[in-house]
Amino acid sequence: MRFGSYNNDSSMNLHPLRTPALLALSLLWGTASTSAQTVAPTLAFVSSEKNNAITVIGLADMKPQATIATCQRPRHMQLSPDRKQLWVACSGDNAADVIDIATRKSVDRIPLSDDPEMFDVSPDGKTLYVSNEDDAELTVIDIPSKKVRGKVPVGKEPEGVKLSADGKTVYVTSEVANRVHVIDTTSLKVLKSIPVGQRPRRFALTPNGKELWVTNELGASVSVISTTEMKVIHTLNFELKGARASEITPVGITLSRDGKRAFVALGRANHVAFVDVATRKVTQQVLVGKRAWNVALSQDEAKLYVVNGLSDDLTVVDVAAGKALQTVPVGRVPYAVVLY
């Protein structure tokens, strides 16, 4: 049984897709509510690769509220534009699980290619861009029809996927080729493959769209790419007292809304780095849990939430003070955190 490690409640099982539901889903994605986007988050959703589940935590008291059974090996997660669904990359099931946030139940599943790890969604909510690690491809899915619109060959073990704000360009990392592939979303052609650091993983775009920051897990660095010149214009190398370079493995990254600060999870170094974007200097390093993997910034940017993949917990960091406030247990091998 797929979710035998939880319970036999049929309400937790996945439901087959019905055409009206899919049409409604597509319409919801295309008509995102502005008011919903301005409401301060009250929940954190944390995916756990080994539990095949998502832990729901209340941000007010930082206590677990529920556990949602989901797909096998849930990894990357992302909210729909209308903030009514949570999309989950299911690496073990080769699919995307769609969870209704109001009911906290799975309402749909979209077939993907082998070993999907990350994805991004077009601004109109109609197209899914998915990195498929085993196939060395970017797969483009039409959401209303669930049909593959196209596939773009990229370097081996693609992971990070990031769309430009206008949806005209999608960026994909290749962990083996040490490249960032720049792809035109209309022609689905690779415009350029940009050499970066060793084992590039994740992206963050500055608010003006002029710079793309890329974490290099085995390079202990971040490559800063000019999106207009399509080349690396700076490399930020991380150092940590008492840690070898091989122990500094940056993966997760996010930027403040004004684009002035970057927050980078340093992986096995068990720290997060605060970076001044203008000067490209590390201003603080904060000790968190084991293998700091992914990060999310609160709406008021007062707190940073850090997923720790080897200590199976979530650390809350006070951004102003630059110190960890508390740690909350979650599922086994947590991967991503999304605030709602």
Domain boundaries, the chain: 117-195
Chain segment 123-159, per-residue pLDDT in tens: 988 999 999 998 999 999 999 999 999 999 999 999 9
Which amino acid belongs to residue 107?
Answer: V
Angle, alpha carbons 265-267-273 (nearest 5°): 35
The fold adopted by the segment(s) 117-195 is Thrombin, subunit H (2.40.10)
What pLDDT, on the 0 to 100 scale, is given for residue 91? 94
The set of residues, in sequence order, having a beta carbon less than 8 Å from that of 167 and lying 6+ positions away, is: 122, 123, 124, 185
**Region at 173 (left for phi over 0; alpha for psi -120 to 50; beta for the rest):** beta
State the pLDDT at residue 6: 30
Strand spans (E) along 143-210: 147-153, 158-163, 169-174, 179-184, 189-195, 200-205
188-218 pLDDT, tens digit per residue, is: 999 999 999 999 999 999 999 999 999 999 9
d(CA 294, CA 291): 9
| Percentage of the residues of the chain whose pLDDT score is greater than 90 | 84
Sequence-ordered list of residues with C-beta below 8 angstroms from that of 156, at least 6 positions apart, any chain: 136, 174, 175, 176, 177
CA–CA distance, 218 with 203 (Å, rounded to integer): 15
Specify the pLDDT at position 39.
65
The confidence score (pLDDT) of residue 114 equals: 85
pTM exceeds 0.95 for this model: no
Contacts (Cβ under 8 Å, ≥6 apart) of 259 = 206, 207, 208, 277
Q: What percent of the chain has pLDDT over 70?
A: 89
